[in-house]
Amino acid sequence: MILTTQRVLLVVAVCAIAIVVSGGSDASANRPAADHSDRSTNDWRARLNEELPLLGHRNWIAVVDSAYPLQTSSGIETVETNADQLDVVEAVLDQVGKTRHVRAVIFTDAELQAVPENDAAGVTAYRDALSHLLGKSGAQSLPHEQIIAKLDEAGQRFHILVLKTRMTIPYTSVFIRLDCGYWTDDAERRLRQAMTK
CATH number, residue 169: 3.40.1650.10
Per-residue confidence of the chain (197 residues) as pLDDT tens digits? Answer: 555 555 555 555 545 444 444 444 443 333 333 333 344 556 999 999 999 999 999 999 999 999 999 988 888 999 999 999 999 999 999 999 999 999 999 999 999 999 999 999 999 999 999 999 999 899 999 999 999 999 889 999 999 999 999 999 999 999 999 999 999 889 999 999 999 98
Does residue 125 sit in the same domain as residue 54?
Answer: yes
Is 195 inside any structural domain? no
173: in domain: yes
Taking CB atoms within 8 Å and a gap of at least 24, the contacts of 129-135 are 129/86, 130/86, 130/89, 130/172, 130/174, 133/86, 133/89, 133/90, 133/93, 134/106, 134/108, 134/174
73 with 107, same domain: the answer is: yes
| Cβ neighbours, 10 Å, residue 11 | 10
pTM here is 0.77
Q: Distance between CA 181 and CA 132 in Å, rounded?
A: 23
Domain that includes residue 74, residue range: 41-189
Nearest to 146 by CA among 113, 108, 117: 108
